[in-house]
Structure 1
């Protein structure tokens, strides 16, 4: 064969090889949300194909819980990745869980080389959050269950850990009830943004949503209503435990809330003995047909259903020993099925409870929560009472209340209504939501600092974390939950995870545009904010 022909064959072979090589952009250019602490680029890529194995190192059982979601994600793309044993092999994805590593809690070190991916963490949650980062380094088609022969990850390193320990969302299932499957869908979506707490608002004036076996009328009567007078609903304790377990599989902790002493009409229409004599606003009252429910005993003190959205008219009877037995039973049963550290007792907008009655009630409720081995959370009004250092005040309205809690040695959970309330309308044209606090466009949800709110500066050590509440006065179904949550929840997740120095609206608005394409493949009904060019660069 002529030398020129040999050179031609080799040239064509190299050209073919080059043509098949993937084009991977530098890791630092990928639209990762929340933005990591540090990213270091490297040349090349790691190829995920049928030859790759997942290897567990260190505390293998815990590491496996974090690795399994990646294995399942890749399986959706047709890549069945088995578990292997040799961490020194080539073409491996290593999950190393070692508490002695110099990596902060929930943090991770991700190193991607041409023949190896190494994920390190001191706890399983850190490894899981690394998987969420890897998900965003994979092409958006991964969200559409499209079968492929191989996938590519850009080479480089990420060192990452959260700014705040608590990164949460609240879902109000009391004003409108949402099914177990709906709640699981919410858990799926928010876990992708390293959210680690889901606060469930389980009771309010309109409905009671959790089975309490020692007080069965709470669900038999109190659950059968919602805003507008709908049928409502509730979770059995087994269903609640199912939600808790599902959340735990995504490294999310459930925080249950039973609002008290106000926002309690659903308890008062179940048991009149808890009612000190309050009445429901006439225009929103709906009679409770106890006979239709098979309940023959009359209850003259029981209230009608409240079908509207007015607040502040209800209260438990704070002078009655029966009330404290009720609170004790509810907290006891809830604590038994809640493995997480917090029980939320509400405490907000109790306008008809005199302050001299409100303060001792909150202190007694706090003592009951403590008795059952949990820490108390409450909306910022609870700071008027004497709080334990372990208690947390959720700052939603008044900075001075947050300051009062801090001065008592308690931490605050930052949820300012004017920035984080996901039920607020985006603008005046939004069909769902309210605007009593503010219109909250995407840049409004992003451009704020938990350390400086309401003309007050908070010390970093005083802040437990950040939470974005979604109240459901106007939100009636899963599609509407998604619309009000996305894209604002990722914005708030970045505030909770990413150091302030690493955050900028210019960067975030470019990165979030790429997530719109992922949401479309996932069937998420998101709001296309005009502040973002969803088809290209940010405006």
Structure 2
């Protein structure tokens, strides 16, 4: 369906809705006399966002025309409709999440017209393509305070993402305080890449993040990466890990990145991967995994717990398979659905229903696709995170001051958009795809400003891949729609990169 206000300019909506029609009539004028009514939580959300966008503080007592917000059960989960004309605006969600997403569509529509604020006359019907729409923030390579994580939640939720994957442990640091294993944060949380300060989340901090996310209809997915990426765990519990296994490739990577190599018992501040491993088959390791999984599951209300499983290059293949079988069973025993990176598909005895997360390329190499299909063949589903499309830590151009280039070189905005989730893994049916996730690894990213610089605008391309129906996706229209969000992102204080692919337009001038 066309998404046009007139024949010249698409509606400034990202991700693209399923159906959006201009009604060919005068729009709705926002002013101080407009009231917002309906669902109480939604009313306060709209008033807050409109105040940030326009400076207007709208009332809540209905007097004539206004904005009506309501929940009308019966539609698809997270779906909504939005109708606006000169007589008012009505947003109806099939559930609270759908109403929330309809509100963000409403906010994107707001435009200044000389001395007035207008919402065009439109009818929108919208629902998500995939149930899981995620962003991942790596807080292990560099640690970020609760306020920064919550700000990222706000930014992602506005683009209709509904999961936040927190990468809580890696070789460089352990970031979550667990009651059964206090040495993890006491001894292994103070380091980061480059010798930068570390840190960790207390149980109260983690609960604040979860509550902030839940208020924005976002589920937190914690990850403890195992059996590799465990050097920090070994700083706290040396008897649980093997001696680092170094290869010629790791030495070459260390030289290329001017990164130190790991040393047994010394906190790691470099970015080489694949050298660490838990000591598999040791009863003490089994106890450690059970303790960590049980504690984290008890702290996490969401249904998922991610156990990593990637880049375990220092782990024997048979040991790796045995460990993943045991770890996924431990997660299930704790009442959660396990998620693991796609390498875990090689383990034949994963707990049935384990979800696989694919981080290979848009065109799979080697046996990446077979390992990924294995999850669906065993009753699980798949989250797609192709690194050369949605890894937000990849440079967007050769001269980008941050980021890496290992995922087939720099990832431009165009490349981050021009992929189709249903075509990545041959033989994987659409119903086996749980959703799309855009990870942000932080080897080179140390501040909130760095997060904004690398995530925006490419996070919008990932949002559209996750939410929008295939028929609604169009690169040329996306570039125009994205440019229409310039003033809104400025109002939100997002320090986004002004990609040359987009004509950024400040319509509030």
TM (norm. structure 2) is 0.89
Cross-structure match for 2:20: 39
**SS class of match (2:32):** coil
Contact 2:80/2:102 (CA < 8 Å) preserved in 1? yes
**SS class of match (2:281):** coil
* CA distance 1:337–1:486, change in 2 (3 Å): same
* CA distance 1:96–1:262, change in 2 (3 Å): same
Matched, 1:425 2:395: yes
**SS class of match (2:22):** strand
**SS class of match (1:83):** coil
Q: What is the deviation of 1:510? A: 1.2
Q: What is the deviation of 1:279? A: 6.2
Write the deviation string for residues 205-252 of structure 1: whole angstroms up to 9, x where unpaired: 000011112111111111011111222111111001101111111211
* CA distance 1:122–1:474, change in 2 (3 Å): same
* CA distance 1:432–1:168, change in 2 (3 Å): same
Write the deviation string for residues 336-365 of structure 1: whole angstroms up to 9, x where unpaired: 221111110000011111121111211111
Matched, 1:248 2:214: yes
CA distance in 2, matches of 1:150, 1:332: 55
Q: What is the deviation of 1:535? A: 5.0
**SS class of match (1:329):** helix
* CA distance 1:66–1:336, change in 2 (3 Å): farther
| Matched pairs, number | 482
Query: Where does 1:178-217 land on structure 2 (aligned, <5 Å)?
Result: 178-217=144-183
Query: Which one has a bigger Cα radius of gyration?
Result: 1
**SS class of match (1:306):** coil
User: Pick from 278, 298, 308: which aligns with 2:270?
Assistant: 308
Cross-structure match for 2:60: 83
Cross-structure match for 2:289: 327
More displaced 10-residue stretch of structure 1: 241-250 or 71-80: 71-80
Cross-structure match for 1:344: 306
More displaced 10-residue stretch of structure 1: 372-381 or 517-526: 517-526
* CA distance 1:157–1:389, change in 2 (3 Å): farther
Write the deviation string for residues 454-493 of structure 1: whole angstroms up to 9, x where unpaired: 6x24311010000011111111111111111011000110
Q: What is the deviation of 1:285? A: 5.7
* CA distance 1:265–1:534, change in 2 (3 Å): same
User: Pick from 464, 470, 490: which aligns with 2:460?
Assistant: 490
Unaligned runs of 5+ in 1: 1-23, 57-62, 142-147, 288-301
**SS class of match (1:221):** helix
More displaced 10-residue stretch of structure 1: 443-452 or 189-198: 189-198
User: Pick from 48, 68, 73: which aligns with 2:44?
Assistant: 68
Matched, 1:121 2:87: no
RMSD over equivalenced CA pairs, Å? 2.4
Contact 2:332/2:351 (CA < 8 Å) preserved in 1? no
Cross-structure match for 1:97: 71
Query: Where does 1:41-440 land on structure 2 (aligned, <5 Å)?
Result: 41-42=22-23, 43-56=25-38, 63-76=39-52, 77-84=54-61, 90-99=64-73, 101=74, 103-139=75-111, 151-278=117-244, 284=260, 303-385=265-347, 386-397=349-360, 398-438=368-408, 439-440=410-411
CA distance in 1, matches of 2:411, 2:245: 34
Cross-structure match for 2:478: 508
TM (norm. structure 1) is 0.85
Q: What is the deviation of 1:25? A: 4.9
Write the deviation string for residues 479-520 of structure 1: whole angstroms up to 9, x where unpaired: 111111011000110111111111111101111122234333
Q: What is the deviation of 1:149? A: 9.0
Unaligned runs of 5+ in 2: 252-258, 361-367
User: Pick from 428, 439, 463: which aligns with 1:458?
Assistant: 428
CA distance in 2, matches of 1:316, 1:71: 51
CA distance in 1, matches of 2:41, 2:285: 42
Matched, 1:448 2:419: yes
**SS class of match (2:121):** strand
* CA distance 1:526–1:460, change in 2 (3 Å): same
CA distance in 2, matches of 1:279, 1:457: 36
Q: What is the deviation of 1:170? A: 0.6
Q: What is the deviation of 1:152? A: 2.3
